[in-house]
Amino acid sequence: MAQAEWQKFDLFNPTEEHAMLRQTVREFVQSEVEPQAAEFDRNERFNVPLFKRLGELGLLGITVGDEFGGSGMDTVAAVIAHEEISASDPGFCLAYLAHSMLCANNIASNCNDEQKKRWLPKLSSGDWIGSMAMSEPHVGTDVLGMKTTAVKSGGDYILNGRKMWITNGTIDDKGTPGDCVLVYAVTGEKNGRKQVSTFIVEKGFAGYSVGQKIKDKLGMRASNTAELVFQDCKVPAANLVGTEGDSMIHMMRNLEIERLTLAAMSLGIARRSIEIMTKYAQEREAFGQPLSQFGQVQKMIADSYAEYRAAKTYTYETARQMGGGHSDSHRLDSDGAKLFASTAGKNIADRAIQTLGGYGYVGEYVVERLWRDAKLLEIGGGTLEAHQKNMTRDLCKNGFKS
């Protein structure tokens, strides 16, 4: 790259299209997401009409090819969208991630063209709301411990089992399921190991229901979390993704962009927290001078900014390397970015509360909601411990490359 081009390069907005996307999403967030965030968090409700507005903006199928109704953008674009939305309403953003990354991007990465034509236009437009179901009540994300089964019966598969902690598993308090869900289920054994397969289950399939909506969560209350129940649920064989036993491939193709967008959510939380604490420290006085003049507060603000920039650079550089988002070759750094950013986001929100004191502890100043929402990002999409295990294993297997 020539020196003049290098000087113009912006890691966080590499093209004009990325910069325009960021501006569009930021304006939408300020005008439509921010005014409703506190209310929907307080009432533990998912704002479905606002969610469908994301489809009008082309965000629900942001990484889906335009031939299937999507926007055909890359991983950097997905990271931008999640950072901007999460800076206002991480709970709403989590519902967006479950739909756009766990469901739509998953289908775009792993389904055949006929299946993509069936589901992606409806998911990209917002006519349908989607989700993904892997975790189970007793085994979490331990794939080999999965108990949900799918047995071939004529031209169908019969699913039996339960899934837990499913974002967008229900869209309201009445137990109405989302329109479709990717379900992972055991279809047999091979060489002594369980074979896990992927199915698309649609609302209205006999034997598919919402068990319970999970209420009273610490955070992410503006997204709905539910248990899903499959009791002799009949799923057409045409809804099998790939072939039996392909789920591990499907997961690997989608895990990296999932983890990067979760990291991006932490960036949004961190950025907003720094904005709030910095403004407050300038305006609030103690002993005749602004809080920003005290060393303890300076340390909290300065450390927060440095951690935010480090996390942002790591996340966006990994996203840039991934490109189109259907990759399984950047696991080390997608794990690493989420490992670092999720803890940074939580710690920065915590410092913001400390800086604001009693005001930080109440909802009016937003940071208490951001702090509550931030904790989930150290758990969902892979725990901190899972990232540490994966990264150590990859480094020991492949060696460290600077």
Q: What band does 171 get if pLDDT is binned at 50, 70 and 90?
A: very high
Stated as kind and residue range, the H or E segment containing 24 is helix 16-28
* Mean pLDDT (the chain, rounded): 94
Question: Which tokens hold the place of 327?
Answer: 């990759």
> Could you count the other beta carbons within 10 Å of the beta carbon of residue 223?
28
Q: Name every residue whose Cβ is closer than 8 Å to that of residue 275 and which is 6 or more positions away in sequence.
A: none
Q: Is 157 helix (H, G, I), strand (E, B) or coil?
A: strand
Residue 400 pLDDT > 90, yes or no? no
Return the amino acid letter for 366: V
Of 189-203, 265-279, 346-360, the least confident: 189-203
The upper half-sphere exposure of residue 320, i.e. CA atoms within 13 Å in the direction of its Cβ, equals 14
Residue 250: which of 350, 347, 326 has the closest Cα?
326
Estimate to the nearest angstrom the gap between the alpha carbon of 238 and the chain centroid.
28
Classify residue 86 as left (phi > 0), alpha (psi -120 to 50) or beta.
alpha
pLDDT for the residue 5: 57
Q: What is the DSSP letter of 128?
A: S
Beta strands 193-202; 240-241: pairing state = antiparallel
pLDDT for the residue 326: 52
pLDDT per residue as tens digits for the range 256-288: 999 999 999 999 999 999 999 999 999 998 999
pLDDT per residue as tens digits for the range 299-331: 999 999 999 999 999 999 999 999 865 555 788
Q: Where in the chain is the domain with CATH 1.20.140.10?
A: 248-398
Q: Is 58 helix (H, G, I), strand (E, B) or coil?
A: coil
pLDDT for the residue 6: 54
The string of DSSP letters for 307-325 reads HHHHHHHHHHHHHHHHTTS
Q: Which of 44, 227, 258, 307 is catalytic?
A: 258
Give strand pairing partners of 193: 190
Q: What is the DSSP letter of 239?
A: G
Residue 1 pLDDT > 60, yes or no? no
131-246 sits in which CATH class? mainly beta
Residue 42 pLDDT > 80, yes or no? yes
Distance (Å, whole) CA 18 – CA 99: 21
Q: Name every residue whose Cβ is closer than 8 Å to that of residue 45 and which is 6 or more positions away in sequence.
A: 172, 173, 222, 224
Residue 117 pLDDT > 70, yes or no? yes
Q: Where in the chain is the domain with CATH 2.40.110.10?
A: 131-246
Residue 3 pLDDT > 70, yes or no? no
Question: Is there a catalytic annotation at residue 258?
Answer: yes
Distance (Å, whole) CA 320 – CA 69: 23
Residue 238: which of 366, 342, 152 has the closest Cα?
152
Q: Is 9 helix (H, G, I), strand (E, B) or coil?
A: coil
* Fold of the domain built from segment(s) 3-129: Butyryl-Coa Dehydrogenase, subunit A; domain 1 (1.10.540)
Residue 63 Cα distances to 70, 77, 82, 323, angstroms: 7, 8, 13, 10
Give domain 248-398's CATH architecture. Answer: Up-down Bundle (1.20)
Q: Where in the chain is the domain with CATH 1.10.540.10?
A: 3-129
pLDDT for the residue 402: 74
Distance (Å, whole) CA 181 – CA 131: 5
